[in-house]
Structure 1
Amino acid sequence: MKNLKITITAVMALFLFQSCSEDKMDEINKNINNPTEVAARFIITDVMVNSAFAVTGSDASFYGGIYSELNAGSHGQMYEAQIRRNDPQLASTYNNNWNNSYEQLRALKVIVEKCTTGNEKDNYQTLGVAQILLAYNLAVLTDLFGDIPYTEALKPGVIFQPKVDKQEAIYSEVFKNLKEGIANLNKTSAYASLGSQDVIYGGVSSKWIKAANGLMARYTMRLSLRKADYQGVIDYVNASFADADNEFKVTNSSVPNPYARFNTDRAAISVAKSFYDTMLANGPADARTAASFTKISGAVKPFNNSIIDKDGQRLYSISAFINERNPIYLLSYHELLFLKAEAQARLGLPEAQATMNDAITAAYTKKQVVTFTAGQANTYIASIGVLTGDALLKKIMVEKHISFYENEGIESYNDIRRLQAMGNGSFIPMVNPKPELFPQRFAYGQSDVVSNSNVKELYGDGTYVYKEKVWWAGGTR
């Protein structure tokens, strides 16, 4: 009996040891660096950074700036875009931007689901911020590409070939998410503030609400050809941020300005002669003309984009303000004021020029590493004189175009197409010698052209980018 007891005890001990070992092995086998559940507050930080650097400030801004003649492509793929040598129609040209946009949208959808029906239900601040960022990323994508997959997209392993949604429907989603984001940010959250995880506004909900109203102003103006609501633009601007300190941007020592980084790595973008000529036309009172560009052999040497200069690195002048510490703008204060000035001018309101003057001052004093003073702005403003009608409207749009230098290229490109559609294309004339090859949109990304038959059919041979305007510019898709 004694031996039997010892045997039973030994077997039980062995069983317990094995159970404990299996539990321990399960714990050991967990990859703590690849968790299956991540708190929404950590996901959203990456989205903020990537929305600024990868979606807004990089390829899309570079190409948009070249097409709008804010800059000139003087080397490599930027030169190919400049001379329209197939690059604008190639699916590979914009593939990085296409994929980056969808990565952010997918992450934001995960956050929205977690904060509505998931394990972070009632996390209203994070939900509201995510909805605003979703609206922003969705608008950037559709503004550049037109009709895009959305309602059936962002479902990996479920729908492999999502349908393509119309831009008009996409814009309804943009406004819906902005409004819902504002509503959720006005609620009392059951969770702590995002705090330092919010690299844009530090977890201050009121600032996100102001940014959302600013985006409402931008996108309401974008749809002016389809449904003009200039008073709405003014009202949204008035509900948005009132100074450059609270504008929608990323300024972080760990996130370099992509325009500056691209110049260091590629030296592929230079001053466009047409843009420099626009600056010169302002006369000597505009202090920006003499100081905004680097000099070669003592003089500004722009890339002649009306005849197409030769390909080469560091042959031409570049921005004198390039710096990796410059902000990456998602929505700048100067843009906001120019939106208001344009809306007032289109309504014939007498305060339009005063608002334009405020916008010019904001552009002069924007918070980059090197800037100008309010006094210099006043000197220039005094030289403009009183303007009315189309002359005032043109001046507003020209000054807005100048304010976007050096790398708010996406909005510059959007404005050029909108003005052309509204019969104001002469305000900022394009001098590229191949006007028939002005890209009306970006070509769909290669990853979907080769894998999604719905996108492949719309892409065709890519030449549609020269012929088919996006919906808000008068096109059908």
Structure 2
Amino acid sequence: MMKFKNILGILAISAVAMTTVSCSEDTMDRINKDNGHPSAEFVDAKFQLTDAIVSSVFTTNGGSFAWYVSSYTEQLFGCGNNQLRNAELRNANETAASATFNNEWDGTYLSLNNIQQMITKCESGANAGQADILGMAQILAAYDWGIMTDMFGNIPCSEAFKASAPKVDSQESIYENINNLLDAAIVNLGKAIDGKMKNAGSQDLLFNGNCSKWRGLAHALKARYLLHKAGRVDDKNTLYTQVLSETDAAIADGFDGALLDVFTGYGAGQTNSWSAYWASREYIASSKTVEDLLIERNDPREPLYNNNEFGTNTIGEPGNEEQAQSIEELNVPAWLDYGFENKQGSHMFSKSELYFIRAEVKTRLEQDAKADFETAVKASLEDYATSCGETFSNDEVAAYLSGVTATKFAANPLSEILVQKYIAQTRDEQLETFNDIRRCKYVDGSYPVTLTNPKNNSSIGNRLPLRLPYGSSDVLSNPNVKEAFGSGNDAGMYIFTENVWWAGGSR
């Protein structure tokens, strides 16, 4: 009997001990769980949408890619202590270095990973059936992949986020992926429109859940990427007709541009990445290449572009070494300062680009492009003015359109369309200008804006790049990217000699 009691006592003590341990483990599990920062699998896809939009506009389209490229296209002048001065002087050691664009390289891949999580959730996960969020995510993926491959050429894509060392895909195959993403987005957004879905709500900083405008953006992007491939097709007229059809569809959906205009960032006011960059470093200024085009046309945008409030009424001459060393000594576009203290939008895709695309392909198809040209220029005039807190009167706009249409456009429609697009995209769309320059040179051997920086073809090795170099994080960690980047004295130097695929290259 005594032994039995002892056994019962031991069992009771063990049970209590086990319960205590169990409770302790449960408690520890709860303590170690970060409820304030749940893992991605537990986050509703609509909340990831906000970050994906901001990152696509702020990091991918408006970070170092654009700041450097604005010097390459001569839409802005690079100056200051290092970065943009080196870009302006075409310093090959910086231009071809893997560290130069690593932050934006990493930032965009992080964004793409976030977007892929959204797609997976909406296809088969917690947000399955939310066709509106799925379509939006597919558009953002296409947008980010488009910028990455346009800037870098062949990049990791199909195995990204799946393999420890993803292979480097061809640009041609990435463009197929982009087209497939946009086609799928158009279908999904059609389902969302039919189903009156409103899953995004205020998390959609672009269109506040308007699925028709999102679908319009998909069509606009299809037009852009089809146009990029013009040099790679034999039947260009068929391609241009397809481009025009996509712009028709975008307009039918009510698309009139995608502008991120509700981002609170640097400083006390609302700003965009360009204004934040200028306010913190002052590495950019106005360029004589743009200024000459504006003066030649008696353009009302000229005093907004060549603003002397902070300079000494001096404008940057491309490649000028003395000026490139300076800070606070050159004129800057007025929107850089205005955007620092005020709400100012940043483009994902502007209304003017859509209508410039229409005007270009109509001209190439020998159709009347005057109305589309005027719509595009008018949209740019409004964008310049709004971005600087100014307005142009109806009479000013009408007079300018009448003058430029009767002279420059009448003399050479295609040339003036591309020049006006160059001026329009000086505001914050320089990446697409870089694409236009490379595309047109491959399609017909020319581009109407003459780049004058003497360092573009320097005998000491400084020159104009044809693309950007891979980010150092992948050059160091992915042997496939490392091989493509090169080694020794040849590391990164391919950017000066090898065009991207749609510009006639093989990588």
After the TM superposition, which residues 75-474 of structure 1 pair with which residues of structure 2 at under 5 Å, given as runs? 75=80, 76-86=82-92, 87-155=94-162, 159-188=163-192, 193-227=199-233, 228=236, 229-241=239-251, 246-255=256-265, 256-283=271-298, 286-295=299-308, 300-305=313-318, 307-310=320-323, 311-322=325-336, 323-324=339-340, 325-350=343-368, 352-366=369-383, 367-373=386-392, 374-384=394-404, 385=406, 391-423=412-444, 425-436=446-457, 437-460=463-486, 461-474=491-504
Where 2:444 maps in the other structure, the secondary structure is: coil
Match of 2:76 in 1: 71
Percentage identity across aligned positions? 31
Contact 2:189 2:211 in 1 (8 A): yes
Q: TM-score, normalised by structure 1?
A: 0.92
> Aligned letter for 2:135?
G
2:19, 2:483 → 1: CA distance?
Answer: 62
> Aligned letter for 2:246?
Y
> Aligned letter for 2:346?
I
> Aligned letter for 2:287?
A
The superposition leaves residues 437-458 of structure 1 with CA deviations (integer Å, 9 ceiling, x where unpaired) of: 1110001111111222221222
1:238, 1:192 → 2: CA distance?
Answer: 25
Contact 1:124 1:190 in 2 (8 A): no
Where 1:450 maps in the other structure, the secondary structure is: helix
Do residues 33 (structure 1) and 36 (structure 2) align? yes
Q: CA, structure 1 residues 315+466, in 2 after alignment: closer, same or farther (shift >3 Å)?
A: same
Q: CA, structure 1 residues 309+234, in 2 after alignment: closer, same or farther (shift >3 Å)?
A: farther
Shift of 1:468: 0.6
- Say which is worse superposed, 206-215 or 29-38, in terms of deviation: 29-38
Give unmatched runs, 5+ long, in structure 2.
266-270, 458-462
The superposition leaves residues 180-215 of structure 1 with CA deviations (integer Å, 9 ceiling, x where unpaired) of: 011112224798611111111112211110111111
**Across the two proteins, how many residue pairs are aligned to each other?**
471
Contact 2:131 2:189 in 1 (8 A): yes
- Say which is worse superposed, 286-295 or 387-396, in terms of deviation: 387-396
1:33, 1:116 → 2: CA distance?
Answer: 26
Match of 2:268 in 1: none
Where 1:31 maps in the other structure, the secondary structure is: coil
Where 2:477 maps in the other structure, the secondary structure is: coil
Shift of 1:92: 1.0
Shift of 1:145: 0.2
Shift of 1:299: 6.8
2:127, 2:310 → 1: CA distance?
Answer: 61
Give unmatched runs, 5+ long, in structure 1.
none
Contact 1:115 1:123 in 2 (8 A): yes
Where 1:249 maps in the other structure, the secondary structure is: strand
Q: CA, structure 1 residues 10+209, in 2 after alignment: closer, same or farther (shift >3 Å)?
A: same
Q: CA, structure 1 residues 15+290, in 2 after alignment: closer, same or farther (shift >3 Å)?
A: closer
Shift of 1:51: 0.9
Shift of 1:16: 4.4
2:390, 2:484 → 1: CA distance?
Answer: 44
Q: CA, structure 1 residues 104+298, in 2 after alignment: closer, same or farther (shift >3 Å)?
A: closer
> Aligned letter for 1:257?
N
> Aligned letter for 1:338?
F
1:253, 1:149 → 2: CA distance?
Answer: 30
Q: TM-score, normalised by structure 2?
A: 0.87
Q: How large is the Cα RMSD of the aligned pairs?
A: 2.6
2:252, 2:332 → 1: CA distance?
Answer: 31
Q: CA, structure 1 residues 387+123, in 2 after alignment: closer, same or farther (shift >3 Å)?
A: same
2:122, 2:196 → 1: CA distance?
Answer: 11
Contact 2:304 2:388 in 1 (8 A): no
Shift of 1:389: 8.0
